[in-house]
Chain A
């Protein structure tokens, strides 16, 4: 036990040192890529809170991602001298606000209706963001907003600085989401996924529980979207609210594995790798992504994580047989 703990601590410290030193080793291009990876990991994890842990598929999760972005960008544009962390907080609060408004309606449905309702709301928000150009800048979006750093003048001139900020916030988010799955609430959540009726008969309120999950999920998606806006110094309807942004976390989660907590992170890593390769050889992202989706559903229904764990099981049983 003790040995295990010290190994754990050593691994954590090694990981932290690696993450701290990373930007100085791999250069700006790859540093930005790591930030994007972390942002989309949090986004995909927030989706998986609904999909994998509560059994709710949303085709409109970009809503919260986009609200986080717009909230932060608008706050930084219009509130002079606003610091960056409160700005991220405002972004997350905007996403939470939207979730609170939608939750009375969406917690009453599940399955296909839930998915389609979100598709529609997502599209609605997208159209509204395009049309309200006086506030949102229409197709151009909101760009070049001030980005005050914590210690430097501006985050935009110091990508390494931004890297540290983003990694700390996102790391905290991952830990919090992981923690939620370990709490009693996390158990009730999984219970709803498996058998909502029984949860009701045990004395839990299903809609209220779903609403809390929904708001939490929106909160984390909002933070991811806020940091995404900051990382580009731009928030636009197409970039943050588009259909693609709703499908991205679903695809990544499917690739990585819906059933496991860390599956979506693996999925985002694979996805980003593929994306890099695709951009190098062909411009048709849609085609390759479509084919990947089909292949994953047909041959890896439990995702890469499911595949890996079934492989481990097989190896284990084989080694057991060899021993006996």
Chain B
């Protein structure tokens, strides 16, 4: 009982982490908190729904939908964000908020407001029993996938030249610029990867919660809370807090059902009361 509850929690935490780390690398790199991130996350769910509707293949959806989402993210960065520096930091926040609003509106126009179910392929259905316990396969798959992406990110960040540049740019943007590296290209890439991760999360969450226009608000808000509590720009912070939140969420639903969201915000308030920049946050920039 508790173990399956914990599994729910960890799976949800992993999905939160996927969204949050996407947000985080964009913030760390560019200093922009992308308010449209949750909308991209939701959009990917809809893309996947359509791809599965056409081809009947979930795996194809898992592959295509995040990439499509990433393309849109890159477009937004190139066309809108890059040209809005005059409006300053708040301007960027509000711009991305506008994009989020447009995406949600378009989703309602194209796919309607009902919640759309997404079926998981048979191979991921059902339970698997390990050491006398039954685990839902799909949740294990989600956890595995998220860990895989995490490993991939780590490899990319710590084993490649590009990763080095990204990490350097996170700590000192101007310096990297001064070194003659095409920072715009790096920004574009980072934005792409960030939205791709959101897209991936959107696809894997779709079979669990179905796809509906309120998804961005519901899960997106949790992801934002994770990022702020963990510390903006900190991947480790996001990971730990995402897992804590996932568990708080699933056990919260179990014990104080209606007030689960309250638990998370209360946790955040507690953390921020002692560490205003989040658990692992650097100084405000």
Contacts and interface: CB of A to CB of B under 8 A. Distances in A.
Do A and B touch, yes or no (CB under 8 Å, in the complex)? yes
A109 B277 contact: yes
B272 A123 contact: no
B142 interface: no
Given A112-B93, A301-B91, A294 B269 contact: no
A254 B98 CA distance: 12
Given A111-B284, A301-B88, A116 B262 contact: no
A290 B228 contact: no
Contacts, number: 123
Nearest to B88: A301
Nearest to B39: A290
Contacts of B103: 290
Nearest to B266: A124
Interface string A138-157: 00000000000000000000
B86 A105 contact: no
Interface residues of B, number: 50
Residue in A115, A119, A286, A292 with the greatest tally of chain B CB atoms within 10 Å: A286
A262 interface: no
Contacts of B100: 290
B276 interface: yes
Nearest to B89: A111
Contact of B224 (A110, A116, A243, A292): A116
A213 B58 CA distance: 53
Contact of A293 (B88, B94, B104, B278): B94
Interface in B83-127: 83-84, 86-95, 97-106, 108-109
Interface of A: 51, 57, 105, 108-113, 115-117, 119-121, 123-124, 127-128, 131, 243, 247, 250-251, 254, 258, 284, 286-287, 289-294, 297-298, 301
Interface of B: 27, 33, 80, 83-84, 86-95, 97-106, 108-109, 217, 221, 224-225, 227-228, 232, 258-259, 261-262, 265-266, 268-269, 272-273, 276-278, 281, 284-285
Given A116-B227, A284-B105, 8 more contacts: A113-B232, A117-B269, A127-B261, A127-B262, A286-B101, A287-B105, A297-B84, A301-B87
